[in-house]
């Protein structure tokens, strides 16, 4: 199946919002074996909207739209979909009833004609319930059954839920076979190296497919299979995942597409361990990534942002001689920070970082240089990072990822 993703809304063309729906839908459709050919964005203009849907059908069998399903005059995706697919809107009493119930929940008494408009749907449409908002979505085929349009609301939360609960199953029912996939997340290996090592598996492989993706500071491998039954697809993916892990398993931190901080917090909980952080160049990013996870208080009680040398000495007990002899950005300082924060906080593990994020740097201490310290029981370890990149944001992010990686590998 060949698809176009069409975003509707003048606010996107004005640059007021970043279109995150498209990247989500592209990934989801590709992993279902649907080829995404184009992304289009068009404003709230009926002629241009109709024209662009017709154009998309020139090349594709499927158009997925987001936006333009609300109650206001601007919202016209439904009307235009009807026009292009040769159908007409009819009132659906059960949708009207559910909108009425929802509004009563919000203590809104009167229903305006605008709200009633949301209960109108194309007569031949398959309706998708909106469990996070008011406007339902729908899928509509042309009379020949050769082309289909699926329309969803624009707000990302509503769209994603509707896609997962209703649109994905509807698409699966239209295609033969069942898709199963795994996303393996990796840290510590670059995408080109990852691909090179996996080439013997990738080459000549049609099912399961293996694809590598680069993300900021990390990369991932997607293993997907399309078979007659979900059992067959899952078995094929599991077997190939095993082969992938035989080659690059040491870099894989999640087989379920989970973020590294979440994986680490879960592991700490399982082991009943607590951790405390001492950060210099990352300035609190490690602590905020940990505490972004609900329930982090079980494993994390305290973190220190010791930006100045005075703070490193006062709060972590780093020795003055160490700072004078080796400098703040050094193996020795990182180790004293890790040991100091573990003791001071009474946590099982102390993790530390000191480095040069940039833009300021020197020949001896270039931007991208950082040291991660780790203290746990008898273990006292340090990792040196040399990135040769003068990009403050990226260097900070990479240091934080390295801290989590260091914890995961040593508990």
Q: Which of residues 386-405 bind its own copies (CB under 8 A)?
A: 392-393, 396
22 binds its own copies per the rule CB under 8 A: yes
Binding mask of the shown chain, residues 307 to 346, with x at each position contacting its own copies by CB under 8 A: xx-xx--xx-----------------------------xx
324 within 8 A of 331, measured Cβ to Cβ: no
Give yes or no for a contact between 337 and 354, defined as CB atoms under 8 angstroms apart: yes
Query: Looking at beta carbons only, is 88 or 292 nearer to its own copies?
Result: 292
Three-state SS at 129: coil
Q: Is 288 among the residues that bind its own copies (CB under 8 A)?
A: yes
Instruction: Among 40, 71, 155, 343, indicate the residue that binds its own copies (CB under 8 A).
Output: 40
- Nearer to its own copies (CB atom), residue 279 or residue 339: 279
Residues 147-186 touching its own copies, rule: CB under 8 A, are: none
Residues 357-376 that bind its own copies (CB under 8 A): 358-360
With respect to its own copies, which residue has the nearer C-beta, 97 or 310?
310
Residue 271 or 314: the one with the smaller Cβ distance to its own copies is 314
Q: What are phi and psi of 5, to 5 degrees?
A: -100, 125
**Contact pattern for its own copies over residues 96 through 115, marking x by CB under 8 A:** --------------------
Applying CB under 8 A, among 18, 73, 173, 206 the residue interacting with its own copies is 18
Q: What are the angstrom distances between the C-alpha of 361 and each of 23, 328, 365, 398?
A: 36, 13, 6, 17
Q: Hunting for tokens 């100091």 — which residue is that?
A: 340
Question: What's the closest the beta carbon of residue 15 comes to its own copies, in angstroms?
Answer: 3
Choose between 43 and 96: whose C-beta lies nearer to its own copies: 43
Cβ closest to its own copies, residue 153 vs residue 358: 358
DSSP 8-state assignment for residue 111: P
Q: Return the number of the residue (89 or 274) whose C-beta is nearest its own copies.
A: 274
Residue 48 CA to residue 242 CA, distance in Å, equals 49
Which CB sits closer to its own copies, 236 or 328?
328
Decide if residue 296 touches its own copies (CB under 8 A): yes
Q: Are 181 and 31 in contact (CB under 8 A)?
A: yes
Q: Are strands 137-141 and 126-128 parallel, antiparallel or unpaired?
A: antiparallel
292 touches its own copies by CB under 8 A: yes
| Cis bond before residue 150 (omega within 30° of 0) | no
Per CB under 8 A, 63 contacts its own copies: no
- How many whole angstroms separate alpha carbon 291 and alpha carbon 55? 48
Shortest distance in whole angstroms from residue 345 CB to its own copies? 7
Q: What's the min distance (Å) between Cβ of 17 and its own copies? A: 7
Backbone dihedral angles phi then psi of residue 67, each to the nearest 5 degrees? 95, 160
Under rule CB under 8 A, residue 9 binds its own copies: no
Centre a 10 Å sphere on the Cβ of residue 361 and count the other Cβ atoms it contains. 14
3-class secondary-structure state, position 391: coil
Rg (CA), the chain: 27
The DSSP bridge pattern shows strands 218-227 and 178-186 to be antiparallel
Binding residue for its own copies (CB under 8 A) from 34, 52, 268, 337? 52
């Amino acid at each position: 199946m060949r698809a176009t993703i069409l975003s509707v809304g003048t606010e996107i063309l004005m640059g007021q919002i970043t279109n995150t729906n498209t990247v989500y839908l592209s990934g989801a459709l590709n992993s279902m074996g649907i080829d995404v050919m184009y992304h289009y964005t068009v404003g709230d203009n009926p002629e241009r909207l109709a024209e662009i849907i017709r154009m998309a059908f020139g090349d594709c069998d499927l158009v997925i739209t987001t936006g333009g399903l609300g109650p206001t005059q601007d919202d016209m995706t439904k009307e235009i979909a009807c026009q292009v697919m040769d159908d007409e809107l009819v009132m659906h009493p059960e949708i009207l009833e559910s909108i009425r119930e929802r509004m009563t929940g919000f203590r809104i008494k009167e229903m305006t004609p605008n709200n009633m408009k949301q209960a109108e749907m194309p007569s031949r449409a398959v309706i998708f319930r909106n469990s996070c908002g008011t406007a339902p979505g729908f899928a509509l085929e042309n009379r020949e059954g050769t082309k289909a349009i699926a329309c969803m609301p624009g707000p990302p939360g509503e769209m994603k839920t509707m896609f997962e609960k209703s649109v994905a199953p509807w698409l699966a029912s239209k295609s033969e076979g069942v898709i199963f996939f795994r996303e393996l997340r990796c840290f510590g290996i670059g995408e080109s190296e990852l691909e090179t090592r996996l080439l013997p598996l990738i080459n000549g492989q049609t099912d399961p497919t293996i694809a590598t993706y680069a993300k900021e500071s990390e990369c991932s491998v997607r293993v997907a299979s399309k078979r007659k039954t979900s059992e067959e697809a899952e078995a094929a993916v599991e077997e190939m995942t095993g082969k992938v892990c035989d080659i690059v398993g040491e870099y894989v931190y999640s087989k379920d597409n989970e973020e590294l901080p979440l994986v680490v917090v879960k592991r700490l909980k399982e082991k009943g361990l607590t951790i405390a952080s001492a950060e210099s160049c990352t300035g609190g990013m490690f602590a905020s990534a940990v505490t972004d996870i609900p329930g982090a208080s079980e494993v994390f009680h305290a973190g220190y942002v010791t930006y100045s040398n005075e703070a490193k000495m006062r709060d972590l007990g780093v020795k003055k001689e160490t700072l004078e002899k080796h400098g703040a950005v050094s193996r020795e300082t990182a180790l004293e920070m890790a040991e100091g924060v573990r003791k001071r906080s009474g946590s099982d593990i102390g993790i530390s970082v000191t480095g040069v994020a940039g833009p300021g740097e020197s020949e001896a201490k270039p931007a991208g240089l950082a040291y991660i310290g780790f203290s746990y029981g008898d273990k006292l370890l340090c990792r040196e990072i040399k990135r040769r990149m003068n990009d403050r944001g990226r260097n900070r992010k990479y240091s934080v990822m390295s801290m989590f990686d260091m914890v995961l590998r040593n508990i």
